[in-house]
Amino acid sequence: MKWSQFVSLAVAYLVTLVFLAVISIYYAFPHLMFAMVVPILFAGLLYPRRMYLMMTCMLIPASLVVVQKTLPDAQDAWKTMAALFVMVLATAEILHKSLVDRKRAEAALRASEERYRSLVENLPIGIYRNTPGPHGALIMANSALARIHGFDSVAELLDTPVGELYADAAERARFSHKLVLEGNVQTEELRLKKKDGALIWGAVTARVVRGPAGDIEYFDGMVEDITDRKQAEQTIAEQQAKMVNASRLSSLGAMASGIAHEINNPLAVISTAAEHLAGMIRREEFDQALFAKLVDTISRNGERIERIIRGLRNLARDGANEPFSPKSLRSLVEDTVELCKVRFRNHGVELVVSDIAPDIAVECCATQLSQVLINLLNNAESAVEGLDEKWVHVAVEDEGESIELSVTDSGPGVPPELREKVLEPFFTTKEVGKGTGLGLSISKAIVDRHRGELFIDEGSPHSRFVVRLPKRRLHVAPDGGVHV
């Protein structure tokens, strides 16, 4: 009942009582007033919503009293009995209606509670309520939560301290601290335990419930078992690592013959220079200019072989667990490009590398970043294979807090309808047997891990792939802050 309705009914009720009191005093008929008002007031307390009917029932016997006094010849007995009869009937109807409505309300409440209980019990996710603190206890839980934690019954689960349901006490403490600070937490992935100690993963969503004084009364939450999903993610990660390794070996295979030739050439130069030096020693001739020239030739070719070997080592080793550390971008690009020179030259492709400042360094995993550049160079070489004009250009631009490494080829560019697909796994435009479709997707995954981005320059008239990387890798601290 609304407040305005209650006030209007109360006023009408009081007016009716005053009217009856006046009639009772004026006609000296107090016994009828008492017999009429008391039961109806009792009924009104039990069922106030029937107030209009009660007022009507009181006005009927009051009218009979007036008739009795104004018509002295009329018989009093039947009038009094009629008034009392009407009053009793009205009171009985009110009481009956009150009891029926109350029973209906109680039945509806029981049905609603049963529906809610059934809903909570049949949900596939765990529902719980527990007290806060390091020694918190479960107040309520459903069957799904008991099943998730491997308990035979909810009662057995309720007897278990909350701390024993977490795999790591420190992780639980961090979660509780975050929950208290923020008031609610959404799908926090936590390591939990089963009854037998087996590790499971749960996505926990919870909120803080506070009392009138503002103190924490309990935590309400739900737990979704995501163990299967986490295991699937681990399997996917392992498969991705295998694909990265396969792509790396594929790149090595594509360059194997060229690399052997690239090493043989400087070795031949070194061998020839060494023979000249040996001849000078045998003849006991010493030409200082020639001697310096031969030594410089040996040194330069030795450095060339060193760059090739270093590039091979970077590409061949598994960089999945390699830590991030500052690397000279100039050195990384030169070592990687050295592996491709012979292949490009054999296919008639001009490979141009712009001058890179020696002080540009980027925090990265050198092995993985070398693989990205190798993949981009291999794709560029394949793209220009059938063109009359064949060239590939590698450039690095310093943008302050980040760098841009770009590989551009003489091709007409990636068609608009293919730009969204070229970075997807297993997508390739090459002939069957000439490509796996993994190079660009793996490169994108590596760049994402470096918190950068790999994209196609849509404004370039040629095919231009750009890798944008921060010079320093941002680290997210446990408190939510960002540090470098």
pLDDT recorded at residue 253: 60
Tokens at 149, concatenated: 């934690």
Q: 220 in helix, strand or coil?
A: strand
Element (H, E) at 102: helix 76-122
- Hey, what domains does the chain have and what are their CATH numbers? 3-118 (no CATH), 123-229 (3.30.450.20), 322-483 (3.30.565.10)
Cα–Cα distance, 146 to 153 (Å, whole number): 6
pLDDT recorded at residue 478: 42
Cα–Cα distance, 259 to 18 (Å, whole number): 114
Beta bridge partners of 407: 394, 465
- The 3-class SS string of 187-201 reads EEEEEEECCCCCEEE
| CA 258, 259, 260, 262 torsion-angle sign | positive
Residue that is written with structure tokens 């929950």 in the block: 179
Instruction: Decide: residue 463, CB within 10 A, 0-12 exposed, 13-18 middle, 19+ buried.
Output: buried
pLDDT recorded at residue 111: 80
Element (H, E) at 38: helix 30-46
pLDDT recorded at residue 119: 67
Beta bridge partners of 141: 128
Give yes or no for a contact between 218 and 130, defined as CB atoms under 8 angstroms apart. yes
Tokens at 399, concatenated: 């943008």
How far is residue 166 from each of residues 162, 202, 400, measured CA to CA in Å?
8, 10, 45
Give yes or no for a contact between 82 and 64, defined as CB atoms under 8 angstroms apart. yes
Give yes or no for a contact between 423 and 444, defined as CB atoms under 8 angstroms apart. yes
Cα–Cα distance, 484 to 482 (Å, whole number): 7
Q: 410 in helix, strand or coil?
A: coil
User: Cα–chain-centroid distance for residue 21?
Assistant: 72
Strands 475-476 and 402-409: unpaired
Give yes or no for a contact between 32 and 74, defined as CB atoms under 8 angstroms apart. no
Cα–Cα distance, 39 to 51 (Å, whole number): 13
pLDDT means per 10 residues, the chain with 484 residues, are 55 59 56 52 52 54 55 50 53 60 80 74 86 88 91 91 91 91 91 92 93 90 92 81 66 59 72 81 79 83 74 59 82 84 84 90 85 86 87 92 92 79 65 58 84 89 91 57 38
Cα–Cα distance, 221 to 122 (Å, whole number): 16
Give yes or no for a contact between 40 and 87, defined as CB atoms under 8 angstroms apart. yes
Residue spans of alpha helices (H) in 283-408: 288-316, 329-346, 366-383
Q: 285 in helix, strand or coil?
A: coil
pLDDT recorded at residue 129: 92
Cα–Cα distance, 135 to 419 (Å, whole number): 56
